[in-house]
């Protein structure tokens, strides 16, 4: 069929996601999986959610919980978020916030708003796979943002974009405890991203899905906070902050938010209205209830649990990894980034790891817009228990050692 | 800012929606509103939803309800839908169904999959405003589908599309109790749409948000059922059926579905995965619970209630409308379509109606891709009570009579 070709060309640009792969692996109970990027369901605040849905469905509330609602999102939830943003140095108002169906949806809408085919998106090498998937639908070209080691000059980015037939439209990055590397950008690197964006007159998409999950070290200001310090007011900034409850309270409700200049929010609201009307009313009400009653306690609880697992995994890596293997020591988040000996391929290693050692992870090339990074892998430490971490890292070290000698 | 122009050009193509307008009007308690297209919250099955969320959050279920899930949607809900589709003459399997966040999201994804800038979408004049908003983001041109009175020839559509620099990519229609006209296409007209689509090799998007809300008359087969009869199997069809629980159970959970050929579903799943990962796990579980336990009773209850209101509004129109005004007599759905005397403008009438008579509706031109239909208005009958219907239609008749004489 004629329309089939079109389907194929757009859809196939999107690669199979980590979640899909993870869920397949979870069906095999004897696999020790460090592949996912998902929270531990044993830590979900079930009781708080039970109370929240009960409250949303009282006779007084059910009419609103089950009915259509405004595209901007549930006002009490947005007001609560205004308070949270203030705590991280982002003074803003309710008109600076729109609720999205997870921060993944924010990335989709931002791609749709900003990117035309052939335009350039600046992303780190590696970057969040889901961001590449969201942006791919709008057919951009990618260029490498390298805020830690050194960006290109604005002119060099602009020239390369022009030669490719478009313009640089955005820089996307996860400054805190990045997926996949676990790394956090220092303040100077964040300022360099803003310098570049100001010079190129582009949007900065700041993905802060992991920001609340800091286990040690000092918080670094959000890029949006630095942008406000430069421009004097949020409505004069170019930074679009994407937040999420998926890693703190629960992902299954699909509640995230964008905080940005009011004119940007207005446009995202129009976009959301056309794309899915609004995020579920009942889930926004329930999330607000849980946030009001349990956010601080829940964050403290998962920080303690994940800090312990990170330390456990780092200790196991120290114990079991052969020479020539290096890894990140993240101050937060869910991931450790492992660099294998030069020439060792993460994807082949995964195939062998599943077959012979029954252990899983994500090959690092999946996170590179250009397919490089073949000698890297991503390990998740938020889901496995102590014994599984010890055993899985031991098996992985054994396999890498054997592969080196082979 | 350079990026602001791009925001503006895309976002402003989307017009303010009926829901936004409605919600503004609802803030003014003395307005009698026939403007919305929303269900009566007094009819929501609150108790069934309370039981459903309680069940989703038991210790055994909460882990899944609050966790990430697959992009295809909750398998038990999709299996339930397979049973419902069979009842309307659409034999299919679970791989023919993907869950979307309302059918609005299905329209957005289908626009994204099918339309490139300059391509042609065939829509009826008038059509669902939300479909135009969803498609507008992908910058199509529109041409007029007219299955009841007579489509153009395939060659004429194709030629016009080619002259505009693209190709015809889809036909979109609401065959049962259309929003905004309330009209239902007969079987012959549906077959003509399929003839045209087969000839042009395009997708048919069948929006069946209102299908369950039939109050009298004989059901007409879904276009997808007719397409299966032609091709022998759903996987050989080109019709993409969009369904929704928003008008039967409740809209606030944002649960809809697409039923189509498996290769089309596969592509929509990839698209959804990139755009928002999945619809909320907990809402899909809750909707499945309510569907299993209360669907038939709930549909019977709202059919009886809305049938009564339709009859009440038709009787009031008979009583109060001056000569020269005509209206549809829908067999289901939520809307009556009123044609004003030639030369009377629906938008100006709305302004006067709100100012002097405190009654609201949607001007018909909003539903026309070309802005025509200025002498039409849409009346909703699902939300107002008997007294409000009688009083509101009386006021509207008085205003139209006065406007004619003026």
Confidence of residue A29 (pLDDT cuts 50, 70, 90): confident
β-sheet bridge partners, residue A203: A170
Contact A274 B137 (CB under 8 A): yes
In chain B, what residues touch A1 (CB-CB under 8 Å)?
A: 201, 238
In chain B, what residues touch A236 (CB-CB under 8 Å)?
A: none
pLDDT averaged over chain A?
Answer: 93
Q: Which of B3, B41, B46 sits opposite A203 (nearest CB)?
A: B3
Contact indicator for A327, A339 with CB cutoff of 8 Å: yes
Contact indicator for A375, A342 with CB cutoff of 8 Å: yes
Q: Inform me whether the pLDDT recorded for A11 exceeds 60.
A: no
The CATH number linked to A71 is 3.40.640.10
Q: B259 and B130 in one domain?
A: yes
Q: What is the pLDDT of residues A172-220, one digit of tens each?
A: 999 999 999 999 999 999 999 999 999 999 999 999 999 999 999 999 9
What is the C-alpha to C-alpha distance for residues A391 and A376, in angstroms, rounded to an integer?
21
**10 Å Cβ neighbour count for B338?**
25
β-sheet bridge partners, residue B380: B335
For A67-80, b where at least 16 C-beta lie within 10 A, e where not — what string?
bbbbbbbbeebbeb
DSSP, residue by residue, A56-74 = HTSHHHHHHHHS---TT--
Contact A276 B104 (CB under 8 A): yes
In chain B, what residues touch A137 (CB-CB under 8 Å)?
A: 112, 271, 274-275
CB within 8 Å of A163: residues ≥ 6 apart: none
Contact indicator for B312, B386 with CB cutoff of 8 Å: yes
Contact indicator for B265, B96 with CB cutoff of 8 Å: yes
What is the Cβ-side half-sphere exposure of residue B93, based on CA atoms within 13 angstroms? 6
Q: Which residue of B has its CA nearest to A3?
A: B202
Query: Which one-letter DSSP state was computed for residue A354?
Result: I
What does the pLDDT read at residue A25? 56
- Radius of gyration for chain B, computed over Cα atoms and rounded to the nearest angstrom: 21
Contact A7 B114 (CB under 8 A): yes
Q: In Å, how far are A12, B216, B219, B245 from B212, measured between CA atoms?
A: 35, 11, 10, 10
Distance from CA of A406 to the nearest CA of B (A): 38
Environment class of A107 (CB within 10 Å of its CB; exposed 0-12, middle 13-18, buried 19+): buried
Q: Which residue of A has its CA nearest to B42?
A: A63
Range of the domain at B218: 52-294
In chain B, what residues touch A38 (CB-CB under 8 Å)?
A: 67-68
Q: B156 and B111 in one domain?
A: yes
Q: Tokens 């020479």 sit at which residue? A: A323
State the total domains in chain A: 2
* B359-362 contacts at long range (C-beta below 8 A, 24 or more positions apart): B359/B31, B359/B32, B359/B33, B359/B34, B359/B392, B359/B395, B359/B396, B359/B399, B360/B25, B360/B31, B360/B32, B360/B33, B360/B34, B360/B35, B361/B33, B361/B34, B361/B35, B361/B396, B362/B18, B362/B21, B362/B35, B362/B180
Q: B136 and B213 in one domain?
A: yes
Last residue of a domain, one of B269, B294, B319: B294
Q: B225 and B165 in one domain?
A: yes
Interchain CB contacts (distance < 8 Å): A and B: 252
Environment class of B12 (CB within 10 Å of its CB; exposed 0-12, middle 13-18, buried 19+): exposed
In chain A, what residues touch B279 (CB-CB under 8 Å)?
A: 101, 254
In chain A, what residues touch B275 (CB-CB under 8 Å)?
A: 104-105, 108, 134, 137
Last residue of a domain, one of A269, A294, A319: A294
The CATH number linked to A381 is 3.90.1150.10
What does the pLDDT read at residue A5? 45
Q: Which residue of B has its CA nearest to A1?
A: B201
Classify the complex by whether its ipTM is higher than 0.85, answering yes or no.
yes
In chain B, what residues touch A271 (CB-CB under 8 Å)?
A: 10-11, 14, 137
What does the pLDDT read at residue A4? 52
Q: B35 and B136 in one domain?
A: no
Contact A133 B274 (CB under 8 A): yes
Q: What is the pLDDT of residues A105-163, one digit of tens each?
A: 999 999 999 999 999 999 999 999 999 999 999 999 999 999 988 999 999 999 999 99
CB within 8 Å of B125: residues ≥ 6 apart: B144, B146, B368, B369, B370, B372, B373
Q: Which residue of A has its CA nearest to B201?
A: A2
Q: B69 and B19 in one domain?
A: no
In chain A, what residues touch B202 (CB-CB under 8 Å)?
A: 2-3
Contact indicator for A125, A372 with CB cutoff of 8 Å: yes
Q: Which residues of chain B have pLDDT under 50?
A: 1-2, 5-19, 22-23
Q: Inform me whether the pLDDT recorded for A14 exceeds 80.
A: no
Q: A104 and A63 in one domain?
A: yes
Contact indicator for B171, B122 with CB cutoff of 8 Å: yes
Contact A252 B65 (CB under 8 A): yes
What is the C-alpha to C-alpha distance for residues B145 and B161, in angstroms, rounded to an integer?
13
Contact A66 B1 (CB under 8 A): no
Q: In Å, how far are A49, B51, B134, B363 from B278, measured between CA atoms?
A: 20, 23, 19, 35
Q: A236 and A168 in one domain?
A: yes
Selected residue of B254, B272, B334, B382 to mutate for chain A interface (largest A Cβ count, 10 A) = B254
Q: Which of A57, A105, A281 sits opposite B275 (nearest CB)?
A: A105
What is the C-alpha to C-alpha distance for residues B331 and B213, in angstroms, rounded to an integer?
9
Selected residue of A11, A115, A260, A366 to mutate for chain B interface (largest B Cβ count, 10 A) = A11
Last residue of a domain, one of A240, A269, A294: A294
Contact indicator for B73, B256 with CB cutoff of 8 Å: no
- Strands A359-360 and A32-33 come out as parallel
Distance from CA of A51 to the nearest CA of B (A): 10
Contact A263 B133 (CB under 8 A): no
**10 Å Cβ neighbour count for A300?**
10
Contact B66 A253 (CB under 8 A): yes
Helices (H), A36-186: 46-56, 59-66, 75-87, 102-114, 129-136, 154-163
Distance from CA of B48 to the nearest CA of A (A): 10
List phi, psi (to 5°) of B256.
-135, -175
CB within 8 Å of B102: residues ≥ 6 apart: A276, A277, B244, B246, B251, B254, B255, B256
What is the C-alpha to C-alpha distance for residues A347 and A354, in angstroms, rounded to an integer?
11
What does the pLDDT read at residue A131? 96
- Tokens linked to A319: 């114990």
Q: Tokens 């995020």 sit at which residue? A: A279
Instruction: Taking the CA atoms of B381, A72, B113 and B151 in sequence, report the sign of the dihedral they define.
Output: positive
Distance from CA of A159 to the nearest CA of B (A): 16
Q: B183 and B134 in one domain?
A: yes
Q: Inform me whether the pLDDT recorded for A18 exceeds 50.
A: no
SS (H, E, C) B117-129: CCCEEEEECCCCH
Contact A3 B273 (CB under 8 A): no
Q: Inform me whether the pLDDT recorded for A364 exceeds 60.
A: yes
Q: B343 and B326 in one domain?
A: yes
- Nearest CA to A251 out of B110, B55, B282 is that of B282
Contact indicator for A100, A272 with CB cutoff of 8 Å: yes
In chain B, what residues touch A2 (CB-CB under 8 Å)?
A: 167, 201-202
Environment class of B198 (CB within 10 Å of its CB; exposed 0-12, middle 13-18, buried 19+): middle
Contact B136 A274 (CB under 8 A): yes
Q: What is the pLDDT of residues A233-267, one digit of tens each?
A: 999 999 999 999 999 999 999 999 999 999 999 99
In chain B, what residues touch A62 (CB-CB under 8 Å)?
A: 41, 44, 46, 49-50
Contact indicator for A235, A265 with CB cutoff of 8 Å: no
Q: What percent of chain A has pLDDT over 70?
A: 93
Distance from CA of B50 to the nearest CA of A (A): 6
What does the pLDDT read at residue B28? 72
In chain B, what residues touch A39 (CB-CB under 8 Å)?
A: 67
DSSP, residue by residue, B245-313 = STTTT-STT--EEEE--HHHHHHHHHHHHHHHSSS-HHHHHHHHHHHHHHHHHHHHHHHHHHHHHHHHH
What is the C-alpha to C-alpha distance for residues A248 and A74, in angstroms, rounded to an integer?
19
What is the C-alpha to C-alpha distance for residues A188 and A148, in angstroms, rounded to an integer?
9
Q: A365 and A243 in one domain?
A: no
Q: B289 and B304 in one domain?
A: no
């Amino acid at each position: 069929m004629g329309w089939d070709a079109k389907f194929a060309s757009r859809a196939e640009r999107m690669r199979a996601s980590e979640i899909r792969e993870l869920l397949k692996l979870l069906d095999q109970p004897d696999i020790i999986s460090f592949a996912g990027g998902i929270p531990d369901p044993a830590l979900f605040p079930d009781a708080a959610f039970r109370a929240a849905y009960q409250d949303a469905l009282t006779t007084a509330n059910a009419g609103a919980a089950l009915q259509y609602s405004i595209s901007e999102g549930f006002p009490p939830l947005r007001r609560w978020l205004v308070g949270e943003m203030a705590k991280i140095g982002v003074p803003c108002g309710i008109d600076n916030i729109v609720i999205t169906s997870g921060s993944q949806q924010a990335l989709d809408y931002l791609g749709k708003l900003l990117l035309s085919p052939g335009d350039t998106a600046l992303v780190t090498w590696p970057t969040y796979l889901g961001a590449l998937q969201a942006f791919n639908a709008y057919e951009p070209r990618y260029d490498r943002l390298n805020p830690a080691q050194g960006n290109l000059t604005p002119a060099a980015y602009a020239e390369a974009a022009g030669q490719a037939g478009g313009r640089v439209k955005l820089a996307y990055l996860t400054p805190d405890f990045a997926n996949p590397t676990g790394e956090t950008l220092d303040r100077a690197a964040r300022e360099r991203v803003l310098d570049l964006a100001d010079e190129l007159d582009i949007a900065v998409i700041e993905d802060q899905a992991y920001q609340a999950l800091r286990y040690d070290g000092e918080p670094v200001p959000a890029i949006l906070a630095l942008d406000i310090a430069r421009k004097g007011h949020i409505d004069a900034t170019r930074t679009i902050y994407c937040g999420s409850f998926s890693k703190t309270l629960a992902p299954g409700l699909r509640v995230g938010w964008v905080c940005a200049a009011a004119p940007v929010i207005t446009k995202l609201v129009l976009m959301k209205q056309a794309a899915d009307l609004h995020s579920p009313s009942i889930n926004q009400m329930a999330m607000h209830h849980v946030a009001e009653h349990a956010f601080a306690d829940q964050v403290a609880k998962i920080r303690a649990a994940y800090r312990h697992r990170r330390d456990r995994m780092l200790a196991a890596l120290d114990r079991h990894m052969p020479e020539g293997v290096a890894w990140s020591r993240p101050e937060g988040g869910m991931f450790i980034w492992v660099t294998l000996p030069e020439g060792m391929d993460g994807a082949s290693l995964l195939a062998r790891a599943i077959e012979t050692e029954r252990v899983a992870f994500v090959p690092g090339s999946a996170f590179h817009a250009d397919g490089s990074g073949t000698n890297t892998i991503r390990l998740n430490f938020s889901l496995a228990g102590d014994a599984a971490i010890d055993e899985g890292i031991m098996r992985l070290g054994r396999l890498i050692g054997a592969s080196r000698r082979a």
